Amino acid sequence: MNLLENKTVLIIGLGLIGGSIARSLASGKHCKRILAHGQDSIALASALYDGNVDACSTDLSVLTPQADIIVICTPTLSVRGVLEQLKYLVASDTIITDVASVKGNIAADARRLFPDSLHRIVPGHPIAGSEKSGYSASRADLFRNRKVILTPLIENSSNAVHTVMSLWQKIGADVHGMSAERHDVVLAGTSHLPHLLAYTLVNTLVDSVSQPDRAQQVFDYAAGGFADFSRIASSEPAMWRDIFIANKNATINVLDAYVAELQKMRHKLKISDGEGMQNDFSRAKYMRDEFIKRFRPDTINHQDNNKPDSNFIQIPEVISVFPGSLLAGSYRPAAKTSFAIDVILHHARHQGVFELTGVPEDFEVLTLLKSLREANILIVGPDSGYVRVYGIDIQNPFSSEGQGLPATRGSLQLPADHFVCGLFVLGAISLENSQIKLGGLANRPAGITADRFDLFETFAQFGFSAKWQAEPSGEMTGLEINSFTPRSASIDLKNLEIDENELLLVFAVAAQASGVSMISLESDRIELLLNRLGMVASWVADVSVDGELLCVVPKDLNEEFVDCNADPHVALTAIAIGQRAKKPLRIGKTGDLAGVFPGLLMDLSRLGFGFSIQKTNIEDDL
């Protein structure tokens, strides 16, 4: 599917970026015609002479009526002026995009100037460039294997988004989606701050280290590190002036954080805290090395375990568990991974723009989103559980959009993972005076049917009193969990479809009840459950099996170390049960907790669970 076929592309601003787009489009013959506008007549003439453009002009009104796609490649603060001109020149179906390094102001200007045709304005930012500038520095391979971030508006049509995405992919870029707000925060740290530091460092050395009239004193003895770090100080000053002004708030925030860290380092240096400095250096070295392994594998000799989407924080070998004080606060768990994947795939295969909330950001979901991008489906996010899908009907792409307007638009809240919610029920058993409010649960059924299992209805048989409250949207309910003491119960789970992870929680509640509990379950499933729990089962209860009957007798938690069979769900269950341990408990072989439940450990700690993490590669506890 070539969305550029028979399209005329107009490039406004024929500098490094614009010139490189023109060269790449021309060399691959990716579109019908290439037009160029700018004020540098020499650059325009050179591009025409090189065969990289088919026509050019310093008069925008001459070229605009011919364009199907317009790419604005002017400095950040000048994009507004270009949009103001285009408002009165472009046809209603002309797609407009840009390459500015700051996106919040572009989105705001688009909404102000094109309120009735936002479907065709798709902001973007190529993460590529050079300290050199101008058309003479442009090259056809500038974007090959480089990231381009699109920050599409919610009003954008799938046709417009995927056309812009196709343009960048045709010239070799790896296209990602992100909200404009998130983009500006991230780039303030990864791109804008380093440039600010480079400019400032060069001036500091010239003004403070060398003699006023002998600046060469610094540069004559500068090592390679200075050359590498200061390279970006050769970037075009006017361009970066505009970037910093446009993104000043986000840049100031990250600059303040950096200054605070510098002050800490200054103090360590002042008191000769060598150990503290070495720990900071080691942590930075580790993170930098992981970055190189992940994003620049061609620069290293050893690429073992080089997973493109692996977490920087390595799997903890040991988690030390201790009782928290109480559970308090509000929390909305993400959806179950398998359910989220099904929903994302469904929307990716249908024409339209779809917003999803409650999406987990684990390895499986991130891998899926990457594969969808590679299949030309643009995904914005994930960002705190939010994902926007620009879906395509592969059999009949964009047939129903008509003038680029979206055929379908929708939003969906994904229901919270019951397993994660159940962890709080376990915690409330041990921690008195707890009160936690969970959001994002599907509307409650009338009760248990003959063939249906419900985790919270099953908990109720142990004495758990569920307090449900409809959320404002009406699509979800909230659950209030208070401390309670589970009573013994006889639970019949035979012939029911039960999530195996939720079954762990049923056993865990039975193992904390006031007496003997009986769980009726198929013998093969009992065997599977006990094998999965392993040492955890014998740690928390005396267990016996009689055919299809599992007898659970709670006991004191006397073990000092528990092996979790490299199963993250078992490890989380052990953390929740361990809140009532009377002595320090260490759990090991916890599995890939960071990959399966990213951020969950920090959330559990914030909400009142007691534990500390011993990591294998960073000497720094959470």
Residue-wise over 168-191: b if at least 16 C-beta within 10 A, else e? bbbbbbbbbbbbbebbbbbbbbeb
CATH of 8-178, one of 3.40.50.720, 3.40.50.1860, 1.20.120.80, 3.40.1390.10: 3.40.50.720
Q: What is the pLDDT of residue 397?
A: 58
Nearest-5° angle of CA 151, CA 155, CA 159?
80
Q: Where in the chain is the domain with CATH 3.65.10.10?
A: 334-413, 418-614
Which of 124-128, 175-179, 399-403, 510-514 has the lowest average pLDDT? Answer: 399-403
For residues 16 and 133, the answer to whether their CB atoms sit within 8 Å is yes
Q: What is the pLDDT of residue 132?
A: 77
Q: What is the pLDDT of residue 332?
A: 94
Rounded distance between C-alpha atoms, residue 308 and residue 422, angstroms? 32
Q: What is the pLDDT of residue 437?
A: 94
Question: What is 334-413's CATH topology?
Answer: UDP-n-acetylglucosamine1-carboxyvinyl-transferase; Chain (3.65.10)
Q: What is the pLDDT of residues 195-247, one digit of tens each?
A: 898 888 888 877 776 665 555 666 666 666 777 777 888 888 888 898 999 99
Q: What is the pLDDT of residues 329-371, one digit of tens each?
A: 999 999 999 999 999 999 998 888 999 999 999 999 999 998 9
Residue 37 region by backbone torsions, left for phi larger than 0, else alpha for psi between -120 and 50, else beta:
beta
Q: What is the pLDDT of residue 210?
A: 60
Average pLDDT over residues 271-285: 88
Q: What is the pLDDT of residues 91-103, one digit of tens each?
A: 888 999 999 999 9
Q: What is the pLDDT of residues 291-328, one digit of tens each?
A: 777 665 555 554 444 444 444 455 566 899 998 889 99
At the fourth CATH level, which superfamily is domain 184-272? 6-phosphogluconate dehydrogenase C-terminal like domain (1.10.3660.10)
Q: What is the pLDDT of residues 497-531, one digit of tens each?
A: 889 999 999 999 999 999 999 999 999 999 999 99
Average pLDDT over residues 481-506: 93
Sheet of strand 318-321: strand arrangement: 561-563, 585-588, 318-321, 611-614
Tokens representing 142? 């500038």
Q: What is the pLDDT of residue 516?
A: 95
Ramachandran angles phi, psi of 47, nearest 5°? -65, -35
At the fourth CATH level, which superfamily is domain 418-614? Enolpyruvate transferase domain (3.65.10.10)
Confidence of residue 402 (pLDDT cuts 50, 70, 90): very low
Closest to 380 (Cα-Cα) out of 105, 150, 108: 150
For residues 89 and 65, the answer to whether their CB atoms sit within 8 Å is yes
Average pLDDT over residues 173-179: 93
Q: What is the pLDDT of residue 312?
A: 46
β-bridge pairing 174-177 and 476-482? unpaired
Percent of the chain with pLDDT over 70: 88
Q: What is the pLDDT of residue 212?
A: 58
* pTM attached to this predicted model: 0.81
Q: Where in the chain is the domain with CATH 1.10.3660.10?
A: 184-272
- Residue whose tokens read 């058993």: 429
Q: Where in the chain is the domain with CATH 3.40.50.720?
A: 8-178
- Helix axes 568-577 and 600-607, enclosed angle (nearest 10): 10
Q: Could you give the residue ranges of the DSSP H alpha helices within 234-378?
A: 237-246, 248-270, 274-295, 337-348, 363-374
